Amino acid sequence: MNWTLEVVVVPVSDVDRAKKFYADRLGFVVDHDTVLGDDVRIVQLTPPGSGCSVVIGKGAVPDMPPGSLKGLQLVVPDLERARAELVERGVEVSEIQVLGANPSPTPHPLDNVGFVFFTDPDGNAWAVQQISSRA
């Protein structure tokens, strides 16, 4: 039986501002923006090519302090290109960092060990890692 992670709730203070950041700056696809009355709103967004979405909202999502989620990670096949896209879209993103060393040769020197980091407007922290191919 497969167990797949499909949704991660990201705590935000302003749903519209967060939706704009994730859709316009990061390029996530808006799957739905559902309003169920004055106190309930759920917005689901999915990174291009991902099987896992993020949900932001109010009312029907767990109550967590905005900005408290750390360690979210995206994986891309070309970190230099991904970083350039983020910069072009106005995301404040770190320089490429190499963390550790590969125990065996890889197709690209940044595979597994190349990262960039950014935060959303509330301070939820994201990493982007390069993995160009998987065994």
Kindly indicate whether the domain formed by 7-130 is annotated with CATH number 3.10.180.10: yes
69: pLDDT strictly greater than 90: yes
pLDDT in tens, 76-133: 999 999 999 999 999 999 999 999 998 888 889 999 999 999 999 999 999 999 998 7
Note whether 54 and 126 are within 8 A (CB): no
pLDDT of residue 134: 73
Does residue 76 contact residue 30 with C-beta atoms inside 8 Å? no
Residue boundaries of the structural domains of the chain: 7-130
Q: Report the alpha-carbon distance of residue 76 to residue 54 in Å, rounded.
A: 17
pLDDT digits (tens, 9 = 90+) for 16-29: 999 999 999 999 99
User: Residue 66: is its pLDDT beyond 70?
Assistant: yes
This prediction has a pTM of 0.92
